[in-house]
Chains A and B, each alone.
Chain A
Amino acid sequence: MSLDTATVRRVASLARIRVEEDELPRLQSELNGILGWIEQLQAVNTDGVEPMAGGGTQALRLREDRVTDGGIQQQVLANAPDAGPEGAAVFFSVPKVVE
């Protein structure tokens, strides 16, 4: 499976990474290099093998339903590039989204 430029563009868009037109050929060949190398996995017979999802094999531990966090509005907002109008910086903000 080899990536064409349209796919590279689509993947970059899905990943929200800007890619300039002149970067595309290099990126495409790098990604294809990696994917071509990964292709060797297809040679492994994995019939009937249960996929291994994560590192841990134990079951989830259930937490108690108690309020133990939150109430730290200013700490949560402290690193925000734009936390709203001065004096009322209680929000994160982004360019207006039209729904």
Chain B
Amino acid sequence: MTAPTDFTIAEARTALAKRELSATELTQAHLLTIEALNPRLNAYITVTPEVALQQAKAADAALAKGEAGPLTGIPLAIKDLFCTAGTRTTAASKILGNFVPPYESTVTANLLRDGAVFLGKANLDEFAMGSSNATSAFGGVENPWKRTGDDTVLVPGGSSGGSAAAVAARLALGATATDTGGSIRQPAAFCGIAGIKPTYGRVSRFGTVAFASSLDQAGPMARTVEDCAILLGSMAGFDPKDSTSAQMAVPDFAAACARGVKGLRIGIPKEYRVPGMPAEIEALWQQGIAMLKDAGAEPVEISLPHTQYALPTYYIVAPAEASSNLARYDGVRFGLREEGSDLKDLYERTRRAGFGDEVRRRILIGTYVLSAGYYDAYYLKAQKVRALIKRDFDEAWGKVDAILAPATPSAAFGQGEMQDDPVAMYLIDVFTVTANLAGIPGLTVPTGLDSKGLPLGLQILGKPFDEETVFAVGSALERAANFTATPSVRAAA
């Protein structure tokens, strides 16, 4: 029999329904794995065994009464950016080190409504700013994958590195995550799992610590596309507490996974063939195209001419919004406070001590690009280019139903390998950031390994609010790729 930690969410639901194991057993199996591996992986900032076991007990009671919800008894990791009532929420920042929200984010409330069990709060880049989980004030996360014959500690990607590592190493069946420039799709690729950033407005942002409000979107990570669909079905939905939440019904995403791709036109954007892209990535992409073609889809070359400007656009828009969003961390109402000689001094000392290097850097960039005399040259210009990037996609949707592209320009890299040059680090998000700027859904599916045995993923981009097609294409790709490799650091089977 499959070890409980190796279940997919779909399998676990069946096993729980059939009472082959209890929610408590399933939760305990995960807590044991966390106890064994988290000290090494550092995937969780906070583990909440009492909360988890209590929720598991309630899940067992619901199962016994035949009142199970879609996620009853399913143990999940919650990115520590979602506020959870009564459980410390840090955003991986010192400035929120002791913050215990008295309220629940809409995403986690939805999951709780559907019966989920929360194992703890997953590590991330500080305020979700980063692509390697290296900026966490609670230390980096180790990627559970190893290069063949090489013990180098690799990064899990970021910012949802803790969520990705936890799911890959079997420290959770699935996880919540957020994606502002690729923070779900890039770590999913680095850790050999699936993850989807839904359409902007599909999932409520209420109660999720904001990084860049016009780009932030929460989504799930799991080991299969179908599991992502199940989780998203629970997380998504209209929320009157978020003015940007779309007033739309949530379709049956899991059902869409079985649709197949016959007759679908799949766009292959020529601009995603970036200079210096490793041959392995190009090969992976070509394999993906071939697989979809075999499954009955029609590849169509398309052009997204402003792709190369997406990253610089993002590095104006995101820091600008962040500089404003993070102004509330001032040592007055919650979080860290460093006393000062006067109010300004208190602010400056608190924010110097509370924010890490990357967060401070982005706040400064964001402050600068919005400041008098520079707004038009930077922020307004970026908004216009953003409009052009969105227009590129709008035009593509006239020709294709979905787009296939690489998720990342490389496999996971070693801790410390990219830390010195912020811009080099930013370039890792080259394939993911366009979806955030345009507000469209994007799904990463693990489809192969590089020559060193590390996972690589492809990305499916879709029309706004057409996650169903994205899931259909992702599932078809998943079936064809039949990715079965597992990381070397994981729960003992």
Q: Which chain A residues have a beta carbon within 8 Å of chain B's beta carbons? A: 1, 3, 7-8, 11-19, 27, 30-31, 33-35, 37-42, 44, 46, 49-56, 58, 60-61, 63, 72, 75-76, 78-82, 92, 94-97
Given contacts A44-B309, A94-B332, A94-B346, contact A49 B388 (CB under 8 A): yes
Interface of chain B residues 69 through 102 with chain A (CB within 8 A): 98-100, 102
Q: Which 6 A-B pairs have the closest CB atoms?
A: A51-B383, A79-B334, A18-B352, A46-B384, A81-B337, A55-B200
Across-interface contacts of A50 in B (CB, < 8 A):
384, 387
> For the complex, what is the distance from the CA of A44 to the CA of B381, rounded to whole Å?
9
Q: Knowing A18-B348, A41-B313, A52-B390 are in contact, say whether A95-B341 is a contact too (CB < 8 A).
A: yes
With an 8 A cutoff between CB atoms, is B251 at the interface?
no
User: Known contacts A60-B243, A79-B99: does B387 contact A52 (CB below 8 Å)?
Assistant: yes
Q: Quick one: closest B residue to A78, CB to CB?
A: B102
Q: How many Å from the CB of A54 to the closest CB on chain B?
A: 4
With contacts A49-B387, A52-B390 known, is A34 near B422, CB below 8 A? yes
Interface-forming stretch among B133-141, B267-275, B281-289, B359-367? B359-367
B335: chain A residues within 8 A (beta carbon): 79, 81
Q: What are 6 A-B interface contacts by the 8 Å CB criterion?
A: A16-B330, A27-B364, A41-B312, A44-B385, A55-B200, A95-B342
How many A-B contacts are there with CB distance less than 8 Å? 163
**Binary CB contact string for chain B from 373 to 388 against chain A (1 if under 8 A, 0 otherwise):** 0100110111111111
| A12 cross-chain contacts in B, Cβ below 8 A | 364
Distance of A14 Cα from B372 Cα, bound (Å): 11
Name the contact of A94 in the complex, choosing from B313, B343, B439 (C-beta under 8 A): B343
**C-alpha gap A42/B340 in the complex (Å):** 41
**Which residues from chain B sit less than 8 Å from chain A, CB to CB?**
98-100, 102, 200-201, 213-215, 217, 240, 243-244, 246-247, 306, 309, 312-313, 315-316, 323, 327, 330-337, 339-349, 351-352, 355, 360-361, 363-365, 367-368, 371, 374, 377-378, 380-388, 390, 421-423, 426, 439
Q: Which A residues lie within 8 Å of B387 (CB)?
A: 49-52
Residue of B with least CB distance to A16? B347
Residue of A nearest to B311 (CB): A37
- With both beta carbons as reference points, the residue of chain A lying nearest to B388 in the complex is identified as A49
Establish whether residues A37 and B351, one from each chain, have CB atoms under 8 Å apart when the complex forms.
Answer: no
When the two chains form their complex, are residues A53 and B383 in contact, meaning their CB atoms are under 8 A apart? yes
B361–A31 CB distance below 8 A? yes
- Whether B200 and A56, one on each chain, are in contact in the complex, defined by CB atoms closer than 8 angstroms, is yes
Q: Are B352 and A38 in contact (CB under 8 A)?
A: no
Asked, given contacts A38-B312, A61-B243, A80-B333, whether A55 binds B214 with beta carbons under 8 Å apart, the answer is yes
B352 and A19: CB pair below 8 A? yes
Say whether A54 contacts B214, CB under 8 Å: yes
CA distance A14 to B381 in the complex (A): 22
Residue of A nearest to B103 (CB): A75
B451 to chain A, nearest CB (A): 30
| Shortest distance between the CB of B245 and any CB in chain A (Å) | 8
Contact A53 B214 (CB under 8 A): yes
CB distance from B415 to the nearest CB of A (A): 20
Chain A residue with minimal CB distance to B464? A57
| A residues near B386, Cβ cutoff 8 Å | 51-52
